Structure 1
């Protein structure tokens, strides 16, 4: 392949993946009894765009499958073939085959095991069963060809009906000068070179049965070219560009280094007299302001909606239910909640395992649910929302819940030290142990004891926390708490035994100096609490939690931070409050080892290393034996 063509391969693969994702979503939401014409058009256009574009690069296997696929879709949307439930299964399987072929071409690893011919045969059978006839193999264009590469090549049949535009064109060189007929480009127009110079335009209707103009609101969001082919002003063109993740990561790293440099300059300025070096302090203040704005702008580039993860689960639920003979409704909330791309990448596998387990082990068969007084269709709910400086993802089902007896019995079989008196919260955590599974038989869905182990490992690797609540006969509720970002945070620098630590600002409610009337001892316990505005809070000493060798200072007269973590408040005593600072997070586990109560490290302005506290873990550390301080 020539260099001039190969440079567009990356864009082709990205666009094709987007088309396949859109195709799957539309198929899963399609009403078989009364299919939405626009949804059918969208499905057709996705297949049509991939066919034209893949033919441009000589990917004949992709082209052959999508050609038969779009023939079937065209007959369905035109009413020549009635939509059936079997078709949805075959169309989804065809989509999976296209995704495999796309991956094989992308990574240049041909895979002869991909069932190309079998898929084409299944699609053709659906056409033949309804009395339809597929177009001759190898035909690259038909009357609706306006989306793929060179779709307007010389010799293509031309029509005069204008095409209603629905979305922006994303193809390369979409605005090349060309003699254009009276056309408004249809829908997505993702193909490359749609308007190649000198090519006569094929202007065919997306929906021939409904030749009504788009409403005014829709017309305002149409393609860049209006009726008559006149180019729209440059200001109306799409302002988005594709940028590789590597470049964004490099930019974030550079911003992180800038933040460290700014902190170093601020540290050096402490020896200067502000009255004599007023302009220097003004410049440093402006630098801090600009650095913060730059950091926020760069971090926003890396933020993605969690729908990137959520959108794959309707298909997972459908396929899993088909294998198990169960009926499940998936309810999604908060899909637009944004979090760091790095967090999203680590979240996909855990959520996949949790959803699959909820259906496999939690949701009962329809007959069992009806016998238990439940509706035949079970419900799995997924939601995401912000809470403080974290993202909370909740997954719940209305199934039979976890079996305490089976979990304890399995734990004993594996030699774990468990007792019947263990609280439920500790029993539920046993399912995260490596190799632990209560499945009676190994299947392709469960039974090997690796799923939930992967869940905990991936969640903890990004500083997250996972909790489980379950009630027999009512279902299971799983809560995952994740950091908003893995790069930069605002923190309060505190000192304990002449060592600096960072407390994320999002956890801090207030700070105060303890007086004697604030402190109360608990009878029968060495623990202490403080009373703040008629509320009693546990008092923890960072000295004790981190096992410092030096004796902690007395509580009376000491400084405490009132912190709120996972819905609970507590007081944390420290030696000194140094000040607020923006810090760059460095992974401690990758560069050293994991330490309980510590979520990462950062480089301070004087070049020293400060540890970032894992506030969520501090109450748990205190409960494991680190004494509080009275």
Structure 2
């Protein structure tokens, strides 16, 4: 078996360990650091070092070795934490991440960056504690023997190694051969023998039992390996107790440490940061599956749903009495297909913590750069979203967070002068809302300034008026090139970013809204579908064509009367619904559908919401609600205005899924073009509704 088979497992787990490390570093209380957090940071570095040594990632192994030694001084209370020290630790974590990415891409890490971080760590150890954490050792060679761990001074002089017995439990022959080969890289294999389900390997090594167990656990389960010291047993230091649970200080320590300095509640080893189970031989509660395999299953389930819909439509035409067994079987198939679809879709769902965990570091660093005190609060971290959407939402959220820190939250002095706490508050929240997920970025800053936005919009040549509603004014910040920053900095001010945010969110089938109050803060709200693969839709008919409206956008439907319709300048028609005037969009006009109803009062008005605004879509008939499989139209054809995607109906025909916001834009464009041709001189006289003839 090729050891490279386990590369992906190592990379994924090392990525998780680095994420845990950063989270613990950001949560540390500098005045009273939590001992368990310090131990967790140390164990993360320790596990990465062990795996890097196994796979021959020498630069990564050596960097984590230096980092681990300094962390050991920290967790034992010999190195007092300060903000600049934590900053260096975070910089080291970033460097480890870069090195990991280089190995993942089959490249060697940046030599200059590697030398710089090693020098930084060594200099820190000399300045803070007066010790050398690396004894001046050069970088490891291409395939070195494992570097001996520095021993505590209390160890006997000349005791260069230990005799360890490694028990491999219920491991098949192929894995056992690989594991024994790797043990040979960690020391000299003295003997091997089989003892029932246990395969015992005696090893002469200078590596610690923890190191060996960490390496083994990248390939087999933690309960499939036991390590014990034979030398300790020979010297009468106890029964044959496993050496992987020592009571003494870890072997990575440089000097001896008085017992009083060690944290009382710091365990020598905690399994929580151990590599998780992977390979054959033992049961595991989870497996790692490539995303493309999950996508393939989802596509197949989608095709199954389409086929089931076709069969269901055929069965609905049969006599229920004469073909009762067929009808009952189709009903059961429909229920099972729905359950299968929901089960498969749940595999793709990941918690929002996957997204939110990236922002504590960003907020910390950016707040320091802006000389602001900011507290980050996250809510709804367990709320689940499709993994494909979580990847795509990170960049828009990053823009919104940076915008809130730079433009929203004031400096401590300004906040104090306004009667606010000196520390600003930034909240990231997520919650389910019907078939959508609602993500909010909330700050308690100065809020948006309406007059300033209108003034800047006029300077930028945008068409604005003082009669615009607040919602319309707030939407101005999403205009391309629009910025209220007085000067350009490396944080913001170039007028790019917010328009990209809106475009990206619309590309995911969602919309963005802004709520703001002067002096109280701003809330940016993102509404997204839970998944892009399956859609709950409302089938509508216009002429002989069937279209699908996203059910999450449909609010209600009604039959308009002449008294509720108002003709405005420029061919605009409004529908009054409970004291609210909604723009009317005739679907047959926008999409050029033939044989549709043209009299407005004979149509059905479907009230929909898009981009935070409500519209009235005029259609011929409502067919009903159904779940459809979304097919990307641009991949298979091209971009069609007013249409977001397509689906296949039960009769095999293709139905277009309408884009509400784009339908409104397309309607405006057509009306303006028609108005320009009707009134070339620009003269326009409003007329009563009853004289307006349908197009």
- Output the TM-score relative to the length of structure 2: 0.74
Q: CA–CA distance in 2 between the matches of 1:418 and 1:539?
A: 19
Q: Does 1:268 align with 2:278?
A: no
Equivalent position of 2:622 in the other structure: 577
Q: Is the contact made by 1:339 and 1:485 (CA closer than 8 Å) also made in structure 2? A: yes
Equivalent position of 2:110 in the other structure: 112
The 5 Å alignment of 1:204-243 reads 204-205=246-247, 209-210=263-264, 237-243=283-289
Q: Output one character per residue of 1:511-570: Cα deviation in whole Å (capped at 9) or x when no partner.
A: 77x598xx8536787644467xxx989696655665645453767786666767789988
Q: CA–CA distance in 1 between the matches of 2:538 and 2:464?
A: 40
Q: CA–CA distance in 2 between the matches of 1:263 and 1:205?
A: 65
SS at match of 1:8: helix
Equivalent position of 1:343 in the other structure: 389
Q: CA–CA distance in 1 between the matches of 2:478 and 2:334?
A: 44
Shift of residue 578, structure 1, vs aligned partner: 3.0
Equivalent position of 1:7 in the other structure: 5
Q: Is the contact made by 1:604 and 1:610 (CA closer than 8 Å) also made in structure 2? A: yes
Q: CA–CA distance in 2 between the matches of 1:387 and 1:240?
A: 29
Q: CA–CA distance in 2 between the matches of 1:602 and 1:171?
A: 44
Equivalent position of 1:307 in the other structure: 353
Unaligned runs of at least 5 residues, structure 2: 141-146, 153-161, 165-178, 188-202, 231-241, 250-261, 672-688
Q: Is the contact made by 1:528 and 1:629 (CA closer than 8 Å) also made in structure 2? A: no
Equivalent position of 1:134 in the other structure: 133
The 5 Å alignment of 1:368-379 reads 368-379=414-425
Give the direction of change, closer, same or farther, for the CA distance of 1:620–1:477 in structure 2 (3 Å limit).
Answer: farther
Equivalent position of 1:82 in the other structure: 80
Q: CA–CA distance in 1 between the matches of 2:9 and 2:55?
A: 12
Q: Does 1:386 align with 2:385?
A: no
Equivalent position of 2:219 in the other structure: 172
Shift of residue 99, structure 1, vs aligned partner: 0.7
Give the direction of change, closer, same or farther, for the CA distance of 1:170–1:422 in structure 2 (3 Å limit).
Answer: farther
Equivalent position of 1:195 in the other structure: none
Equivalent position of 2:39 in the other structure: 41
Q: CA–CA distance in 1 between the matches of 2:582 and 2:693?
A: 10
Q: Output one character per residue of 1:470-498: Cα deviation in whole Å (capped at 9) or x when no partner.
A: 33333222111111110012333221212
Equivalent position of 1:194 in the other structure: none
Equivalent position of 2:331 in the other structure: 285
Q: CA–CA distance in 2 between the matches of 1:629 and 1:401?
A: 46
Q: Is the contact made by 1:159 and 1:203 (CA closer than 8 Å) also made in structure 2? A: no
Out of 230, 239, 245, the residue aligned to residue 203 of structure 1 is 245
Unaligned runs of at least 5 residues, structure 1: 184-199, 226-232
Equivalent position of 2:653 in the other structure: 608
Bigger Rg, which one: 2
Q: CA–CA distance in 1 between the matches of 2:599 and 2:658?
A: 22
Q: Is the contact made by 1:537 and 1:570 (CA closer than 8 Å) also made in structure 2? A: no
Q: CA–CA distance in 2 between the matches of 1:67 and 1:598?
A: 56
Q: CA–CA distance in 2 between the matches of 1:575 and 1:564?
A: 19
Equivalent position of 1:16 in the other structure: 14
Q: CA–CA distance in 1 between the matches of 2:454 and 2:634?
A: 32
Out of 321, 333, 337, the residue aligned to residue 367 of structure 2 is 321
Larger deviation, residues 571-580 vs 601-610? 571-580
Q: CA–CA distance in 1 between the matches of 2:457 and 2:112?
A: 41
Give the direction of change, closer, same or farther, for the CA distance of 1:178–1:270 in structure 2 (3 Å limit).
Answer: closer
SS at match of 2:2: helix
Equivalent position of 1:155 in the other structure: 204
Q: Is the contact made by 2:149 and 2:207 (CA closer than 8 Å) also made in structure 1? A: no
Equivalent position of 2:413 in the other structure: 367
SS at match of 1:155: strand
Q: CA–CA distance in 2 between the matches of 1:490 and 1:341?
A: 19
Give the direction of change, closer, same or farther, for the CA distance of 1:374–1:622 in structure 2 (3 Å limit).
Answer: farther
How many positions carry a matched residue from both structures?
588
SS at match of 1:494: strand
Q: Does 1:296 align with 2:338?
A: no
Give the direction of change, closer, same or farther, for the CA distance of 1:224–1:484 in structure 2 (3 Å limit).
Answer: closer
Q: Does 1:464 align with 2:510?
A: yes
Q: Is the contact made by 2:441 and 2:525 (CA closer than 8 Å) also made in structure 1? A: yes
Q: CA–CA distance in 2 between the matches of 1:259 and 1:629?
A: 44
Q: Does 1:499 align with 2:545?
A: yes
Out of 521, 528, 553, the residue aligned to residue 564 of structure 2 is 521
Equivalent position of 2:122 in the other structure: 124
Larger deviation, residues 357-366 vs 503-512? 503-512
- Output the TM-score relative to the length of structure 1: 0.81
Q: CA–CA distance in 2 between the matches of 1:114 and 1:398?
A: 43
The 5 Å alignment of 1:442-461 reads 442-461=488-507
SS at match of 1:459: helix
Q: CA–CA distance in 2 between the matches of 1:527 and 1:82?
A: 68
Q: CA–CA distance in 2 between the matches of 1:593 and 1:242?
A: 35
Equivalent position of 1:62 in the other structure: 60
Q: CA–CA distance in 2 between the matches of 1:278 and 1:436?
A: 64
Shift of residue 242, structure 1, vs aligned partner: 0.5
Q: CA–CA distance in 2 between the matches of 1:426 and 1:562?
A: 20
Q: CA–CA distance in 2 between the matches of 1:629 and 1:561?
A: 21
Give the direction of change, closer, same or farther, for the CA distance of 1:617–1:24 in structure 2 (3 Å limit).
Answer: same
Shift of residue 399, structure 1, vs aligned partner: 1.8
Q: Is the contact made by 1:152 and 1:201 (CA closer than 8 Å) also made in structure 2? A: no
Q: Output one character per residue of 1:134-184: Cα deviation in whole Å (capped at 9) or x when no partner.
A: 2544735467999x9869853346999x99x9x9x963213586665499x
Equivalent position of 1:587 in the other structure: 632
Shift of residue 351, structure 1, vs aligned partner: 0.4
Q: CA–CA distance in 2 between the matches of 1:402 and 1:211?
A: 49
Shift of residue 412, structure 1, vs aligned partner: 3.9
